Amino acid sequence: MTTQQSTGYNEVAVIDKKFCLPRSIDLTISKNIWKIGQANFVVTKSNGEIIFKIHGAIFSFNTTRVMYDAVGMPIVTLRKKTFNLLSTWQVFRGEGKDQKDLIFSVRRSSFFQLKTKLSVFVAENSDVCDYTVQADWFQRFCQVYFGDSTNTKLAQVDKNLSVDSLITGGDRFKVKVYPNVDCAFIVALIVILDEITSQAKRSSNNKEKR
């Protein structure tokens, strides 16, 4: 992870500097539900061009996601830590899973939350929160911030409901990534946020059925 001063803004290159643009970019993340219960995501620019795809790994039991670029090369792998009360996910370079490949980790800020707040820690740092995701999926929006405050916003996400999403069980996210911010990093955070909130919803539904 590198955080360097840029003209009028901090450059945030967590996954790779090549995913930072000098201007804001609007993205759409479309989520579809597979028959086996896993989700896949397709990320497009405003002109419809696909830039990322995120698939669940086969036989991963909903604990592994791989982000690919437009030509199918793996960028990062998202892995959920098992037996973790704070729903921790780790993001590794490429298809890695060893500590040397770890880029950053994400976890819920606390166990009991009225609104979802995630803390993000870069690989070399496990004590101080580097980035924060604050979400209210009931109101269908979230923001990503630099550090553990709301002073510097890096991205904003709106979750849109559509007729298709109600039929397929998928969702569509409208994302504005601010200038000089790693858009692959932002997309990875949104996928993790969706996985955490979806798991919480499934757990709640299972309890109600008992």
Burial class (CB in 10 A: 0-12, 13-18, 19+), 51: middle
Give residue 7's pLDDT.
36
* pLDDT value at residue 135: 86
Instruction: Compute mean pLDDT per 10 residues along the chain, 210 residues long, and list them.
Output: 45 95 94 65 94 76 86 95 81 94 89 77 83 80 89 88 48 92 97 82 50
Dmax over CA atoms of the chain, in Å, equals 56
Please say whether the beta carbons of 55 and 62 come within 8 A: no
Residue ranges of alpha helices (H) inside the chain are 163-168, 183-209
The topology (CATH level 3) of 2-209 is: Porin (2.40.160)
What gap in Å lies between CA 186 and CA 24, rounded to an integer?
Answer: 13
pLDDT at 205: 45
**pLDDT value of residue 58:** 52
**pLDDT score at 187:** 97
Contact of 40 with 58, CB cutoff 8 Å: no
pLDDT at 44: 95
- Distant-in-sequence, close-in-space partners of 128: CB < 8 Å, separation ≥ 6: 121, 148
Count, residues in the chain: 210
**Helix runs in 120-182, H state only:** 163-168
Q: What is the DSSP string of 33-55?
A: E-TTS-EEEEEEETTS-EEEEEE
Using CA atoms, how far residue 186 sits from 33, 60, 83, in Å, is 21, 23, 25
Contact 89, 81 (CB under 8 A): yes
Q: Specify the 3-state DSSP secondary structure of 42.
A: strand
The pLDDT value given to residue 124: 73
**What are the residue ranges spanned by the domains of the chain?**
2-209
